[in-house]
Chain A
Amino acid sequence: MVASPALNAPIGLSFEISWQPRLEALLAAGRRAGADLVEIFLERTDHLGVLAEQETITNVSPSFGMGAGIRVFLGERDGFVSTNDLSDQGLLQGLDQALGMLGLGRSSTSASGFEGLGPLCDFSTTKADWLARCPSLAEATAKLLEGTARLAQHGQHLQARRGSYSRDWQNVLVAASDGTFARDIRLHQSLGLNVLAADGDHRAGLGRRYGTSGQPDDLRQWDADASAQDVCTSVGTMLYANYVEAGQMPAVLANRFGGVIFHEACGHLLETTQVERGTTPFADKVGEPIAHEAVTAIDEGLTEGAFGSLSMDDEGMQPQRTVLIERGVLKRFLSDRAGERRTGHGRTGSGRRQSHAFAAASRMRNTYIAAGPHAPEDLIASVDRGLYCKSMGGGSVGPTGQFNFAVEEGYLIENGQLTKPVKGATLIGEAKEVMPRISMCANDLELAAGFCGSVSGSVNVTVGQPHIKVESITVGGR
């Protein structure tokens, strides 16, 4: 039988330093053609997905791939070509195509001005064995089946129980004509538990996702029992919940994934891609208050093990801790190469992309509202009648700054107390109007893993916040 590096003995083929002369030749050719900047992103990937349903593994889906993204800048314009063909001919043709987009063509005569790549910034040296240290397929399937068995143990009226595991390994090499030369290995693992409960006409579906970066042992350390209990407690409560009554009301949003409100309502509007498009109301507001003074918001790629953490971004820059809003005042935007060229906002190590097939763009990493001084119960006690959003579903933001997101698990607040569970709530609003209404932040900041889809594809992120109180927000329901 043929060997299978993908499953039984993962080796994670890496980009060697021997790529340097090939890349330098391409970068020099691009500069000789008249490009201001040429960037090459090389990628190899190894993915494993496993799905368990009830007591059965129903899907194992390994995949592996490779490719290159070649980007050429001329002034504020750029051309981008992606290809699966990593041969010299394939890369050269990709460069030619990208140059042609800008009206440029290769020349053999003029000087390139390219002084060669700098020393390799190698962030992968301690990560070479990460893939091999990940759980085997047998371990992964056993752990998932433990999860679905725990769901059966803790839940009632469960019609469907699912556990999913995803392991994404990525080796990247970034080279650019400004001398950037950097290599990294990334490892992201995520686990999900989902259930559907049904009892007569009552139905409720709910899920939780857990994710880390750079921690090969993550799945082995997962507490399947605690996760299953958490999911089953929530779905058991929501199964008999009534639909929320619609209207304007105060809301308290729980910590962890409650942070999706900031991610959707404000975070996207602080990416330079939005400044470029003219779709953020905050473009000219640096130094001005845009939120309640209780709000300090941060985006960083540094928290160890967090799903959105990076050793370097997809343009070879080390991530930073970027204070976006400090005591309500806008401090800065998240920026990438293109954002810096087009808007003047300095890069923040936020150039991210799903894969080589996307040009990098300014994207969030670990984004959260900082902890405040209050106890969580103080926020709830301050509301006469409102909504407590314990668990949030997904959301989105539109081109005019309108955001929306679904409440997965909600409760009424009546006279400062949590009372009945309610379902079917959607929170809608506009960032400019809602940010000044975040009036209280609790002292219990926690983060949660998620995926964010935008202009450069789907990337791993962390959202987070302490419990926060919004003085008034539109709650859609029935």
Chain B
Amino acid sequence: MADNSLNAEALSGRLQQLAHSAGIQQWDLGASCSTDTSVQVDRGEAKQMKGAQRSAITVRVWNGDGLVGITSTSDLSDAGLERALGGAHDASAFGNAEETPAFSPLATAPLVTLDQPIHQPQPILTLLDTLKEAERQLLDRHAAIGTVPYNGLAQRSSERLYLNSEGACRHQILTTASLYLYARAEEAGRKPRSSGAVRMAYGTTELDIAGCIDEAASRTIAHLDYGPIQTGSYLCVFSPEAFLDLIGAFSSLFNARAVLDGVSLSQRDSLGQTLAVPFLSIRDNGLNPGNIGASTFDGEGTPTAPLDLLEGGVLSHFLHSEATARVFGVAPTGHAGMGAKVAVGPDWFEIGPTPGSSGGQQGLDRFSHDEPVVVIDSLSALHAGVKASQGSFSLPFDGWLVNGGVSRSIEAATVAGDIRQLLQAIVGFEGEAKITPDGLCPYVWVGGLSITGDA
């Protein structure tokens, strides 16, 4: 492709010049560009091969009244920049005078250096051969696995940039790779079953392909023997992935933006209140080495940093942008996007027992427990089944009923509850915490959740 990289100095100079001509004193800019290649296969043949070159900028300006406006564009030409700057200035006339963002006081603070090796992209036909081989190995694992309908091997080279009119300049270059394999298995006279696995790394040569195949195969095969489950209340065991998904869906609990907007279950004075069992802690830590592709700064240039959200079951901190931090009288935490109204979001959760606590019930083992347990392996349709502002959830899931050491896949079921009650009903943890794309978490045992089946 044509040269697809960001020149921070040149971009800053061009914008400074355009802003000066337009009489704009204060501005900042977020920019990104990326080059992607990816492949999909279908039973030994290439299904689709894709390449993409993307670039985008968001310009934010403050007008003479101190109000903020933004405009985004994929046109990085001088004409595009000029149009974006003009659009942002026009939009600033409708800026919110009650809550105006400012530059982050940490936009020039030192950044940590992460060990993120840069990998050269592999030729796409090499990716294709790699994925074909992975698909073949997965198909060979069990006669019932007939297809791998959802699969992909992708690599990305990307750059991010944050600049502002006071001289802040953040720049990050990154390469990442990902592999996903979702198999479909079907036995005669039985319903089709499906499951899969995902792996991420800094380059395709670092991907744990064998591990991904193993996990996709074992998960899929483990769902072949299935049966209905009786509706009722069950002791449940969330897989690390499922529990992280659930906490992520309710992350407005920790989000200062949502608190100020009145759409969080937390209030401004909720810090210090007990939210969960005393042996549960949740930390947001985008800098964990397990977070492949971590950003070293947020959309406002604030450095990424670890932040305790729940310590010993007690709500300890909120995630902040510059504007929300100013309202709360604290420092920005590095969780902001960029906008006239700045969004706030988590990076990467570390969930587990509170250091120094009992960690709840000890020796939990779903395969040797006395009473039946429902293992919730993966949750579906979180966008539809989670009411974050109300605390309730009702979600389809894939999982197993484990009874007396015997595990049987559940045909179709939903799990429902209230997140506040769930956090108070945690029994304990099983096994070591596992690194996933969304965070670090062990298996989490929760008592008394409503399961709806069709038995």
Listed in ascending order, the chain A residues whose CB lies under 8 Å from chain B are 1-8, 50-51, 53, 56-67, 76-85, 87, 89-90, 93-94, 97-98, 100-103, 137, 141, 159-160, 196, 203-205, 243, 246-248, 276-279, 357, 359, 393-396, 398-402, 404-406, 423-426, 428-430, 474-478
Question: Which of B18, B46, B94, B98 contacts A141 (CB under 8 A)?
Answer: B94
14 A-B residue pairings within 8 Å (CB atoms): A1-B89, A57-B94, A60-B69, A61-B340, A77-B49, A79-B48, A80-B49, A103-B125, A278-B149, A279-B147, A399-B184, A424-B392, A426-B414, A430-B191
**Is residue B164 within 8 Å, beta carbon to beta carbon, of the partner chain?**
no
User: CB-CB < 8 A to B99: which residues of A?
Assistant: 58
- Most chain-B Cβ atoms within 10 A of its Cβ — which of A57, A85, A476? A476
**Is residue B75 within 8 Å, beta carbon to beta carbon, of the partner chain?**
yes
Are A477 and B2 touching (Cβ within 8 A)?
no
Nearest chain A CB to B176's CB is how many angstroms away? 18
Closest residue on chain B to residue A246 by CB atoms: B452
| Given A6-B71, A401-B192, 20 additional A-B pairs, CB 8 A | A2-B18, A6-B83, A57-B94, A60-B94, A63-B72, A63-B73, A64-B75, A65-B74, A77-B49, A89-B2, A93-B1, A94-B53, A137-B94, A196-B263, A204-B390, A246-B452, A278-B147, A400-B192, A404-B385, A405-B381
**Is residue B303 within 8 Å, beta carbon to beta carbon, of the partner chain?**
no
Question: Which of A56, A80, A137 contacts B96 (CB under 8 A)?
Answer: A56
Are A66 and B381 touching (Cβ within 8 A)?
no
Q: How far is the CA of A84 from the CA of B82 in the complex (A)?
A: 17
Question: Which of A76, A395, A474 contacts B454 (CB under 8 A)?
Answer: A474
Do A476 and B262 form a contact, CB below 8 Å, given A57-B96, A76-B45, A93-B2? no
**Is residue B142 within 8 Å, beta carbon to beta carbon, of the partner chain?**
no
User: CB-CB < 8 A to A82: which residues of B?
Assistant: 50-54
Closest residue on chain A to residue B92 by CB atoms: A60
Do A476 and B389 form a contact, CB below 8 Å, given A2-B89, A4-B89, A424-B416? no
Question: Which of B90, B125, B193 contacts A8 (CB under 8 A)?
Answer: B90
Are A395 and B51 touching (Cβ within 8 A)?
no
Nearest chain B CB to A283's CB is how many angstroms away? 12
Are B2 and A90 touching (Cβ within 8 A)?
yes
Do A205 and B387 form a contact, CB below 8 Å, given A475-B452, A477-B394? yes
**Is residue B42 within 8 Å, beta carbon to beta carbon, of the partner chain?**
yes
User: CB-CB < 8 A to B263: which residues of A?
Assistant: 159-160, 196, 205
User: CB-CB < 8 A to B454: which residues of A?
Assistant: 248, 474
Q: How far is the CA of A84 from the CA of B4 in the complex (A)?
A: 10
User: CB-CB < 8 A to A65: which residues of B?
Assistant: 56, 72-75
Are B149 and A77 touching (Cβ within 8 A)?
no
Do A5 and B91 form a contact, CB below 8 Å, given A76-B45, A246-B416? no
Q: How far is the CA of A101 from the CA of B339 in the complex (A)?
A: 38
**Is residue B182 within 8 Å, beta carbon to beta carbon, of the partner chain?**
yes
Within 8 A of A (CB), among B413-433: 413-414, 416-417
Nearest chain A CB to B93's CB is how many angstroms away? 8
- Most chain-B Cβ atoms within 10 A of its Cβ — which of A2, A6, A63? A2
Q: How far is the CA of A325 from the CA of B53 in the complex (A)?
A: 41
User: CB-CB < 8 A to A77: which residues of B?
Assistant: 45-49
User: CB-CB < 8 A to A64: which residues of B?
Assistant: 71-73, 75, 83-84, 87
Q: How far is the CA of A78 from the CA of B39 in the complex (A)?
A: 10
Nearest chain A CB to B326's CB is how many angstroms away? 16
The interface size bin for chain B is 35 or more
Listed in ascending order, the chain B residues whose CB lies under 8 Å from chain A are 1-2, 4, 18, 21-23, 42, 45-56, 69-76, 82-91, 94-96, 98-99, 124-125, 146-147, 149-150, 182, 184, 191-194, 231, 261-263, 339-341, 380-381, 383-385, 387, 389-392, 394-396, 412-414, 416-417, 450, 452-454
Are A276 and B42 touching (Cβ within 8 A)?
yes
Do A87 and B2 form a contact, CB below 8 Å, given A1-B89, A58-B96, A478-B416? yes
Q: How far is the CA of A90 from the CA of B18 in the complex (A)?
A: 26
Nearest chain A CB to B338's CB is how many angstroms away? 10
User: CB-CB < 8 A to A1: which residues of B?
Assistant: 22-23, 86, 89
Do A277 and B149 form a contact, CB below 8 Å, given A90-B2, A101-B125, A423-B392? yes
Are B83 and A5 touching (Cβ within 8 A)?
yes
Nearest chain A CB to B80's CB is how many angstroms away? 8
Nearest chain A CB to B307's CB is how many angstroms away? 25
Closest residue on chain A to residue B223 by CB atoms: A400
Closest residue on chain A to residue B394 by CB atoms: A426
Question: Which of B184, B339, B391 contacts A59 (CB under 8 A)?
Answer: B339
Nearest chain B CB to A207's CB is how many angstroms away? 11
Q: How far is the CA of A428 from the CA of B69 in the complex (A)?
A: 44
Are A277 and B381 touching (Cβ within 8 A)?
no
User: CB-CB < 8 A to A423: which residues of B?
Assistant: 392
Closest residue on chain B to residue A100 by CB atoms: B124
Q: How far is the CA of A475 from the CA of B84 in the complex (A)?
A: 49
Are A394 and B384 touching (Cβ within 8 A)?
yes
User: CB-CB < 8 A to B231: which residues of A?
Assistant: 246-247
Q: Which 8 A-B pairs have the closest CB atoms?
A: A476-B414, A394-B384, A2-B86, A246-B452, A4-B86, A65-B74, A63-B72, A101-B49
User: CB-CB < 8 A to B383: which residues of A?
Assistant: 394, 396
Are A357 and B52 touching (Cβ within 8 A)?
yes
Are B90 and A137 touching (Cβ within 8 A)?
yes
Q: How far is the CA of A159 from the CA of B262 in the complex (A)?
A: 6
Are B124 and A3 touching (Cβ within 8 A)?
no
Q: How far is the CA of A400 from the CA of B124 in the complex (A)?
A: 30
Q: How far is the CA of A53 from the CA of B340 in the complex (A)?
A: 14
Q: How far is the CA of A311 from the CA of B166 in the complex (A)?
A: 49
User: CB-CB < 8 A to A424: which residues of B?
Assistant: 392, 394, 416
Q: How far is the CA of A406 from the CA of B231 in the complex (A)?
A: 18
Closest residue on chain B to residue A393 by CB atoms: B384
User: CB-CB < 8 A to B47: which residues of A?
Assistant: 77, 276
Nearest chain B CB to A43's CB is how many angstroms away? 10
User: CB-CB < 8 A to A405: which residues of B?
Assistant: 381, 384
Nearest chain A CB to B137's CB is how many angstroms away? 19
Are B50 and A56 touching (Cβ within 8 A)?
no
Do A477 and B96 form a contact, CB below 8 Å, given A6-B83, A393-B384, A428-B414? no
